[in-house]
Structure 1
Amino acid sequence: MTELSQAHQWVGIDVSKRTLDVYVRPLGLSVQVANSDSGLRELLQALTAFRRETSLIVLEATGGYQALAARTLMAEGWPAVVVNPRQVRDFARATGRMAKTDKIDAEVLAHFADAIRPEVRAMASEASQHLQDLVTRRQQLVEMMSAEKARQRSARARTGQSIEQHIDWLKQQIQDLDTQIEQLIAQSDQWQRTREILTSVPGIGAVTTGLLLASLPELGQISAKRLASLCGLAPFNRDSGQMRGKRMISGGRATVRTGLYMAALVATRHNPVIRDYYQRLLQRGKLKKVALVACMHKLVIILNAMVEHDTLWQAPACSLPAAT
């Protein structure tokens, strides 16, 4: 054990509502603690014995249950990172780990940490987490309202009245959240400036801006290629031998991609750069959906450059006329 403790240690933590299952690779140590302040104190004490050898701790995003553990570990200076569950599932299948228990999942996470070594990122501030919570809740309420409106179309009179009252309540809740989001953004000079930059772009409104501030904090901080990949807008090759398959997008942050889809849809009508680009793609025979995804990609590249260079939108001196 002494010899093993001198090597690099990779820690995987499988998170559930009540417990944290921990596995240390290659030491082979397994620990289960409560997903609580007292449980985390117990975990930190157990990890302290080989703190200097611990290269990375990986936790899987689990509906917010990982937040307390991630915040605690990062606050104590441990190299911890929260990863996408889909990546870990794909990794488990690729390594032949088909069985699934909490202990096995922790082992897979530790192996993932060792093999993939995802980049450690700074933990979001309390204000950023608050903004993310507000934006997420707003999205949930919008989805509820869409579902209620769908039910309303086929509802009988008495049921329809109940649905209409619920829709009115949802609208008020969404308005209240919009106010809270606006007030929170107003407390940060950096957020205010980023909002000013983003909303200067035709097609980007307050809702999309709030979403990008909350869910894409890397905007303006990383390369356009990496940002497109984070948004799930980087096309992947599907070639084999002589076969050349269609390029497809996948993965990334689904909520950001959905927000950019709506923004690009508006931009194809009101933003001269995106509109002309969209029309040129259609004239070249591209399908509308393919052309719209390309516009989303172009839009996020433009936004990234503007935030990086702290510049407002400037309409082109002249733009190509829209195709009729």
Structure 2
Amino acid sequence: MIALLLAGALLSAADPYTASVPFAAAPNQDAAAATAPQDAPLRLEDVTVTGRPLDSLIRDFVSEVAEPNPRRGLARWSGDICVGVANLRAEAAQYLADRVSTVAEDLGLDPGQPGCTPTIMIVATGDGGELARTLVEERRRAFRMGGSGMDRGGVALADFRDADRPVRWWQVSMPVDSETGLRATRIPGECRDACLDPVDYAPQINVFAASRLRTQIVDNIFRTIVIVDVDDVAQLSIQQLADYIAMVTLAQINPDADTSAYSSILNVFDDPESSPHLTDWDLAYLGGLYAAERNHLNRRANRTEVAASIRRAHERVREDEDAATDD
């Protein structure tokens, strides 16, 4: 149970805001295959393929792939991240860690240095379902810490444990005060000072503005575990696997999303030849998420921010194409 022991570095971390990265590598199986040519169903720059307005396509894409925690806004990482990889050969493990870190850095995050404590832990195994069941059974508190809005709930955890997927992931996020970075939810058993007064058990928030439209509370991801079933990813190239993992770890992605109408790395297991890497749709979505202010009380408004950023990315693609044509 090498993978279980290596994953413990992530799952036993007491402070959700410690960060950084060893690239653990135990000899096992390589995730490798041939990279296929790009022939996507709907590229970001395609406007007339389906006859639907681009804005409608963008809104539908965001609605399909985004899966925030119940009654919470879209979460993302903030500040440092740290990628750890367990149970793969050193070369493959290093590539996965480096690629995810590079995508994160492009979004404005700060990848940890070698030796940091992983906040994103990628574990390769020959039986993803068995490892997921063992981790959930033995370390359930690491998956469901008990604070309001911190995870997707018990039904989703059962799906993570039991569903048959080549790659499965679980994220824990934290509502925080955007001004101070302090937690805005109480974790059961946690208190301040003497733990005698009820206020000692409440989160400490410095209210700086009162508004019916905006909030100072945002949601930050602070822990992700990814389980890769090596037998089920053998048809992918190492870049395809790395880019898929980057997409599902840097955002809250619906594991059951139907993105077949779009050019997206999320289609890689259904159609590997059409998904050689992160696409314009994927990069625009991630860029929109990390550019959004996320301070709207209306969660739909936060999604609208992301959609607007994807629209701007589309316009940049068009401008680049027009400039190339003129030349």
* TM-score class, shorter: under 0.3
Greater radius of gyration (CA): 1
Give the TM-score of the pair, scaled to structure 2.
0.25
What TM-score does the superposition give when structure 1 sets the normalisation length? 0.25
The higher relative CO (CA closer than 8 Å, separation ≥ 6) is in: 2
Task: Considering fraction of residues, name the structure with more helix.
Answer: 1
